């Protein structure tokens, strides 16, 4: 009993953290491209920061950190406990794979930004395109899953 309550609360909180983090990563990520000013979005009250490249860069990093802490936590948790009770669904695997690609390309872009790191220019262009491409794929997949009410994990007991 106690455990169930704990788990429901836990899932609710992780769900919220996850959605907010992804939302902020997407918003600050798109702000890396010079589009919010051109299209008046940064003119809306309270959204001026969207055209400040350093602010949005730090935010993307910050939510990247939150995302990584959170993801590592969930993955560890999955192997230690959740695995016994839940099974990852097919749509769950697809989303995990896309996020893994986003994270990997994102981290390469972060490493690129350290002083003294040179990559072949073509490689950087490809990484940027992969990162951006995966964002679109993830958003489409994510919304499809929400509409079709597909969950990440399924309770073994309901199988």
Positions that interact with other proteins (CB under 8 A): 32-35, 38-40, 53-54, 57-58, 61-62, 64-65, 68-77, 80-81, 107, 110-116, 118, 121-122, 124-125, 127-128
What is the biggest distance separating any 2 CA atoms in the chain, rounded to whole angstroms?
57
Specify the residue, 123 or 156, whose C-beta has the smaller distance to ligand HEM: 123
Per CB under 6 A, contacts with ligand HEM among 61-100 are: 64, 67-68
Q: What is the rounded CA–CA span in Å between residue 136 and residue 100?
A: 14
Q: Pick from ligand HEM, other proteins, none: which does 34 bind, CB < 5 to 8 A by kind?
A: other proteins
Find the shortest distance in angstroms from Cβ 28 to ligand HEM: 8
The CB-side HSE value for 107 (13 A sphere, CA atoms) comes to: 8
Contacting ligand HEM within 41-60 (CB under 6 A)? 60
Q: For residue 42, how many C-alpha atoms fall within 13 Å in the half-sphere facing its CB?
A: 20
Question: Is the CB of residue 145 less than 8 Å from the CB of residue 91?
Answer: yes
Sorted by sequence, the CB contacts under 8 Å of residue 23 that are 6+ apart come out as none
Q: H/E element holding 88?
A: strand 86-88
Binding residues (CB under 6 A) for ligand HEM: these are 22, 25-26, 29-30, 32-33, 60, 64, 67-68, 102-103, 106-107, 109-110, 113, 128, 131-132, 135, 138
């Amino acid at each position: 009993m106690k455990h169930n309550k704990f788990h429901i609360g836990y899932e609710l909180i992780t769900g919220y953290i996850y959605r907010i983090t992804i939302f902020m990563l997407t918003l600050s990520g798109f702000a890396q491209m010079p589009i919010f000013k051109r299209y008046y979005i940064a003119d809306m009250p309270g959204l001026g920061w969207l055209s400040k490249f350093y602010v949005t860069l730090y935010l993307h990093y910050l939510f990247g950190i939150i995302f990584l802490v959170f993801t590592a936590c969930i993955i560890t948790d999955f192997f230690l406990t959740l695995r016994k009770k839940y099974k990852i669904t097919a749509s769950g695997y697809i989303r995990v794979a896309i996020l893994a690609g986003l994270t990997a390309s994102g981290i390469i872009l972060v490493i690129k930004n350290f002083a003294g790191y040179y990559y072949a220019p073509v490689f950087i262009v490809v990484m940027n395109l992969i990162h951006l491409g995966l964002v679109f794929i993830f958003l489409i997949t994510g919304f499809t899953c929400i509409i079709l009410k597909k969950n990440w994990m399924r309770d073994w007991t309901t199988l």
